[in-house]
Amino acid sequence: MNANPVFNMHIPTKLLFGCGEIKRLATEKLPGRRAMIIVSAGGSMRRHGYLDKVIRLLTENDVSTIVYDKILPNPIKAHVMEAACICRERGCDFIVGLGGGSTIDSAKAIAVMARQEGDFWDYVIGGSGKGRLVKEALPVVAIPTTAGTGTEVDPWAVITNEERQEKIGFGSDKTYPALSIVDPELMLSIPPQLTAYQGFDAFFHAAEGFIANCATPVSDLFALEAIRLLYKYLPVAVNDGRNLKARAKVAWASTLAGMVESTSSCTSEHSLEHAMSACYPQLPHGAGLIAVSEAYFETFRNDCMKRYMKMAEVMTQQKSNRPSDFIDALVRMKKSCGVDDIRLSQWGLKAEDLPQLVQNARDTMGGLFTLDPRPLTDEEVLAIYQASFR
């Protein structure tokens, strides 16, 4: 916090948090009577019985439902447009996003396109997006079943334009969920590796938001608590997925990190990752972030030393005198979560592709580079990719 900061805070979402809170779907005042439920194409929401449960609870609350179930792990624009079209035809008056970030982000984008003309990319800001103003959107109810994106309390929807290999985060004050229910019991079945990938996504939302040059006193508060909780509990949740206490702490940390997204911002680490997973859609977002993180944070080590030491202190609960204490703690955390040896080549990345990623990162989410602690050169960005590539 500089001496006299100017900042704002506006998170209009109503958040319900806690084990078993999914049941509130049957009794809460909902923003409509006819819902389109968005789930992923993978079928896990059906397998775990979550979809049936949500339909049943909504029915108890006098809400009729239809289901759109084609969303991919890196969600694409074509599905947003198709679902929005169905939504209009069927007269849905709100959207329920049930699942991971891909489905909730899609729910937001569908909510926008159900009430807007033209193509989703007409409204996206960045890349080849035309940046038109979103006038209104259907209300969204977010029910995350993973702990990582924080999308339940932020306005962001990350969608890939599959024709242009652009993966861009889009949002406005119209795309905050109206209601979010974070129920850690829905997260017990996430396998260890995914738990780690998602948890590190949350960790980087907090860490990037803490070093961003637009950090505020309120984002700092959320960020440090998320960092503290994730360092302590993410390894527990990864190594013992049935540990409900650890799941709840990680879920809350992820939601806190989402509030960091709403009050500060990601930095260019996310641009670097989006460029990779736009070109290699099989690469999990969290894995890409973990892969570049050490080189990324090393690059800014001397640019915000006090903030690195502060992060190290909440992680280790010990006094820190060196910014590299943060990097050391990050490396230890990766090890204890079993993700210290990520090989980008396993998802098809090649060393010779790295230079073109630099341009993609600048083109599609270039804005985040302006929020870094200091401006990065293209050579530095390439060096981060190269140091991270195995």
Contact partners, residue 390, CB within 8 Å, separation at least 6: 342, 343, 344, 345
Pairing of strands 157-161, 179-182: unpaired
Q: Is 254 in the site for a copy of itself (CB under 8 A)?
A: no
User: With respect to a copy of itself, which residue has the nearer C-beta, 184 or 284?
Assistant: 184
Q: Which one among 156, 204, 222, 231 touches a copy of itself, defined by CB under 8 A? A: 222
Q: Is 9 in the site for a copy of itself (CB under 8 A)?
A: yes
DSSP string covering 113-165, please? HTSS-S-GGGT--STT---PPP-----EEEEESSSS--GGGS--EEEEETTTT
Q: How many residues lie near a copy of itself (CB under 8 A)?
A: 28
Q: Which one among 134, 248, 260, 349 touches a copy of itself, defined by CB under 8 A? A: 248
User: With respect to a copy of itself, which residue has the nearer C-beta, 8 or 321?
Assistant: 8
Tokens representing 56 are 């049943």
User: With respect to a copy of itself, which residue has the nearer C-beta, 100 or 184?
Assistant: 184
Q: Is 191 in the site for a copy of itself (CB under 8 A)?
A: no
Q: Is 221 in the site for a copy of itself (CB under 8 A)?
A: yes
User: With respect to a copy of itself, which residue has the nearer C-beta, 143 or 368?
Assistant: 143
User: With respect to a copy of itself, which residue has the nearer C-beta, 57 or 295?
Assistant: 57
Q: Is 5 in the site for a copy of itself (CB under 8 A)?
A: yes
| CA quadruple 114, 116, 117, 120: dihedral sign | negative
Give the interface segment with a copy of itself, choosing from 8-16, 53-61, 82-90, 357-365 (CB under 8 A).
8-16
Q: Is 11 in the site for a copy of itself (CB under 8 A)?
A: yes
CA 40 to chain centre: 16
Q: Which one among 47, 135, 245, 374 touches a copy of itself, defined by CB under 8 A? A: 245
H helices of 240-389, where?
244-263, 268-279, 285-299, 305-316, 324-336, 354-365, 378-388
- Exposed / middle / buried, residue 182 (Cβ in 10 Å: 0-12, 13-18, 19+): buried
Q: Is 17 in the site for a copy of itself (CB under 8 A)?
A: yes
Q: Is 3 in the site for a copy of itself (CB under 8 A)?
A: yes
Q: Which of 216, 221, 215 minimizes the C-alpha distance to 256?
A: 221
Q: Closest approach of Cβ 212 to a copy of itself, in Å?
A: 17
Q: Are the beta carbons of 110 and 95 closer than 8 angstroms?
A: yes
Q: Which one among 197, 203, 210, 252 touches a copy of itself, defined by CB under 8 A? A: 252
Q: Is 21 in the site for a copy of itself (CB under 8 A)?
A: yes
Task: Please tell me the distance from the alpha carbon of residue 254 to that of residue 378, in angstroms, as a whole number.
Answer: 31
Edge-to-edge strands, sheet with 64-71: 64-71, 34-40, 94-99, 140-144, 179-182
- Which parts of 66-105 interact with a copy of itself (CB under 8 A)? none
Distances (CA, A) of 331 to 12, 52, 167, 275, 325: 36, 40, 28, 23, 10
Q: Which one among 118, 131, 191, 217 touches a copy of itself, defined by CB under 8 A? A: 217
User: With respect to a copy of itself, which residue has the nearer C-beta, 138 or 253?
Assistant: 253
Q: Which of 36, 202, 49, 57 minimizes the C-alpha distance to 106?
A: 36
Q: Is 6 in the site for a copy of itself (CB under 8 A)?
A: yes
- Which parts of 161-190 interact with a copy of itself (CB under 8 A)? 184
User: With respect to a copy of itself, which residue has the nearer C-beta, 31 or 338?
Assistant: 31
- Contacting residues toward a copy of itself, per CB under 8 A: 3-21, 184, 217, 221-222, 225, 244-245, 248, 252
